[in-house]
Structure 1
Amino acid sequence: MTEARPRTTRPRDRKQQIIAAASEQFRASGFHNVGISDIAEAVGISGPALYRHFRGKQELLYATLVDAIDKNTAAFQGDHGDLSGMLDAVAAPMLERRHAGVLWERELTHLPREQRRELRARYVATIEPLRAAIAASRPDLPPVGVELLLRAVIAVFATMSQHVGKVEPARVRRLMTDVAAAVCGFDGLAALVADTGAEGTRPVARGRLLPVSRREAVLTVATRLFAERGYEAVGMEDIATAAAGMAGPSLYHHFAGKSAILVAALTRCLEAMLFDLSAALEYAEEPGEALDAALGSFVRISLQHGDAMRALLHEIVNVPAEERQNVRRMQHDYVAEWTALVTGHRPELSAPEAELLVHAAHSLVNTLSRDGEIWTRAARRDEIVALGRVVLGLPSGGSPAV
């Protein structure tokens, strides 16, 4: 007589296990580079078993983003006493779910428009108590100033929580709240955002002339399309059509393929950043002066070349593995130079702590440079540089932004 096999019981949290695995897979490899089988294997189930919970990858991506928003909601609710209490309460769940920001920034575009709109509304409602707390603590600021500080704080929290590294989580949390409080308390902001009239908020016209060189035109157009639509949604024909009506096959005279265009765009962006940084090091007499010059350079590049910066941030997962290492090395070199300047200017910080502040400053600049409320303001450069100085611990009256 054959002995009956023991009946296995499906874990009650199976759906949550799938969401957690999907979140990590999407973060590490990008939505398009992950298959249902990869997620199922990470959970220890079969593909068909996963489909009992989710109908496909898009539904799973939507679920991971809803989960990330909902799990942070509690931290924004309740009576925290004041802005300081609110910031400390929000920092904790950000650290626990530190990769949610990557999914939001990079993968949201892969969902249908209605779902994107729904998620954004859900997110705005979730962070509304923080907006109210900032507004209550800064009655001197107009709404655009409060919005700027809100986005700055979220950028700082999301990035610092991602780069915990060698710093103890408790210390990271303290740094996060200290930096956010300093940003919210920056008393020079009111003067910078005082001019909110029609002339100051009118959109900046962008003519977008293309280079004469066909190769340069292809690189320029492709970088913009990658930033606007995402790498996977752009085809070689799209690039050729936008690049002064070129024929698709002619692109291959300049680049071996789409990934080669992406690599060229990322490499060029990093080389430009490193080139400007070398000038800051060459002419500065002490680390703080060089750091301030580097910040001004970074803000200028982010404002003027936001397409390339967004590609750098979000599309590196689509670079072939053998070339990704070189791009990552250049990124690391750039951050390492900033980190050395921060520790030179602020010797009380360890190198890992200084690196956290560097990532926070970069995220703040990238976030505020691309936001419409800031992009359309005549004073946006000075606002962003001033807040970057606060994050890095630089004097507020540094050299003019370049």
Structure 2
Amino acid sequence: MTDVSTANPRRAEILAAAAELFARRGFHGTSIGDLGRALGLTGPALYRHFRGKEAVLAEMLVDISERLRAEGVRRAAAPDPSAALDALLDWHISFALDNPALITVHERELDNVPEPQRHQVRRVQRGYVEEWVGVLRRLRPDEPEPRIRAAVHACFGLLNSTPYSAAGLDRPAMAELLHTMGRAALVC
């Protein structure tokens, strides 16, 4: 996996601007020209970096899925499953609080990603879910796996609600609330 921000800072800048525009206006409500203007470029200048708007969206969602999974693998490897769960929660909460536009774009726009990349995003996401499931199976070995998997998906819904729910609290208070609620949802 290549981190887009270190491999090509200009591409990372384009992806960040696109995330904000796509979250605010929607994929179909944002043109290449809009994206170019947000970066101080002409729309056609963006074609030096991406084939088009779909390629921007695809790279954005593949990249975030791969980053979540890679860090999830690292954190799930903690020998103590309780510590691993806390580490996973802290990671996902930080990601969600720091990247509300990406959360919104993923939720709304995944169907606009071309099929090969959409399949890749979903495959990587399933792997990320399985990291959480593996930790919870170590923590609660008698719990049926379908129930664990359902709890993980429900917890993601809670954690990914930050674009809509985080406005009323400061970041530390929101992170603590989400951690408490997420842990309770997963070990109930």
Asked whether the two chains share a fold, i.e. TM above 0.5, the reply is yes
Q: 1:347 aligns with which of 133, 138, 141?
A: 141
356 and 375 in structure 1: CA distance in 2 versus 1, 3 angstrom threshold? same
Match for residue 232 of structure 1 among 28, 33, 41: 28
Can you give the 5+ residue segments of structure 2 that lack an aligned partner in the other structure?
1-7
Distance 2:168 2:146 in 1: 30
Letter in structure 2 aligned against 1:279? R
Which structure dedicates a bigger proportion of its chain to helix? 2
Identity of aligned residues (%): 32
Does the 8 Å CA contact 1:368/1:374 hold for their aligned counterparts? no
Give, in angstroms, the shift of residue 376 of structure 1: 4.2
| Cα pair distance change 1:222/1:375, threshold 3 Å | farther
1:156-188 residue CA offsets vs partner (Å, 9 max, x unmatched): xxxxxxxxxxxxxxxxxxxxxxxxxxxxxxxxx
Shift of the 384–369 alpha-carbon distance from structure 1 to 2, 3 Å rule, reads farther
Query: Does residue 246 in structure 1 map to residue 41 in structure 2?
Result: yes
What is the CA–CA distance in structure 2 between the aligned matches of 1:369 and 1:285, rounded to whole Å?
33
> How many pairs were matched up?
181
SS of match in other structure, 1:231: coil
2:143 match: secondary structure: coil
Residues 345-396 of structure 1: CA distance to partner in whole angstroms, max 9, x if unpaired?
Answer: 11222111101100111111111454254454651111111111110117xx
Q: How does 1:33-72 map to 2 (within 5 A)?
A: none
Q: Which residue of 2 aligns with 1:271?
A: 66
> Residue type of the partner of 1:295?
L
Supply the distance in 2 between the matched residues of 1:369 and 1:347 (Cα, whole angstroms): 34
Indicate how the Cα distance of structure 1 residues 279 and 314 shifts in structure 2: closer, same or farther if over 3 A, else same: same
- Cα offset for 1:294? 0.5
Hey, what's the Cα distance between the residues in 2 that align with 1:358 and 1:274? 14
Task: Check conservation: 1:269, 1:309, Cα contact below 8 A.
Answer: no
Task: For 2:54, give the aligned amino acid.
Answer: S
Query: What CA deviation, in whole Å up to 9, does each residue of 1:88-113 have, x standing for no partner?
Result: xxxxxxxxxxxxxxxxxxxxxxxxxx
Tell me by how many angstroms 1:270 deviates: 1.2
Q: How many angstroms apart in 2 are the aligned matches of 1:351 and 1:299?
A: 23
Question: Do the aligned residues in 2 keep the contact of 1:357 with 1:391 (CA within 8 Å)?
Answer: yes
State the distance in 1 between where 2:53 and 2:130 align.
30
2:137–2:143 CA contact under 8 A, matched in 1: yes
Q: Is the 8 A contact 1:369 1:384 kept in 2?
A: no
Indicate how the Cα distance of structure 1 residues 302 and 256 shifts in structure 2: closer, same or farther if over 3 A, else same: same
C-alpha distance in 2, partners of 1:319/1:369?
Answer: 21
Q: Which stretch has the larger CA shift, 350-359 or 286-295?
A: 286-295
Counterpart of 1:379 in structure 2 is: 173
Q: CA deviation at 1:232?
A: 1.1
Correspondence list, 1:4-15, <5 A: none
The reply on whether 1:323 has 2:124 as its aligned counterpart is: no
SS in 2 for 1:255: coil
User: Is 1:314 paired with 2:108?
Assistant: yes
Provide the alpha-carbon RMSD of the alignment: 1.8
User: For residues 337 and 270 of structure 1, what CA distance do their matches in structure 2 show?
Assistant: 13
Distance 2:181 2:141 in 1: 21
The CA deviation at 1:253 is 0.3
4+ residue runs of structure 1 moved beyond 6 angstroms? none
Q: Does 1:262 align with 2:38?
A: no
Q: Give the AA of the match of 2:110.
A: I
The answer to which structure, 1 or 2, has the higher relative contact order (CA under 8 A, 6+ apart) is: 2
| Gap change, CA 1:263 and 1:389, over 3 Å in 2 | same
What SS does the aligned partner of 1:341 have? Answer: helix
Counterpart residue type for residue 294 of structure 1: L
Q: Secondary structure at the match of 2:161?
A: helix
| Counterpart in the other structure of 1:219 | 15
Measured in 2, the distance between the counterparts of 1:312 and 1:351 equals: 26
Q: Which amino acid aligns with 1:380?
A: M
Normalising to structure 2: TM-score of the pair? 0.89
Q: Name the structure 1 match of 2:128.
A: 334
CA contact (8 A) 1:369 1:375 kept: no
In structure 1, the gaps of 5 or more residues are: 1-211, 395-402
Please say if 1:295 is aligned against 2:73: no
For the Cα contact (< 8 Å) 2:62–2:117, is it kept in 1?
A: no
Equivalent of 2:75 in 268, 280, 285? 280
CA distance in 2, matches of 1:313, 1:287: 29
Aligned to 1:209: none
TM-score by length of 1: 0.43
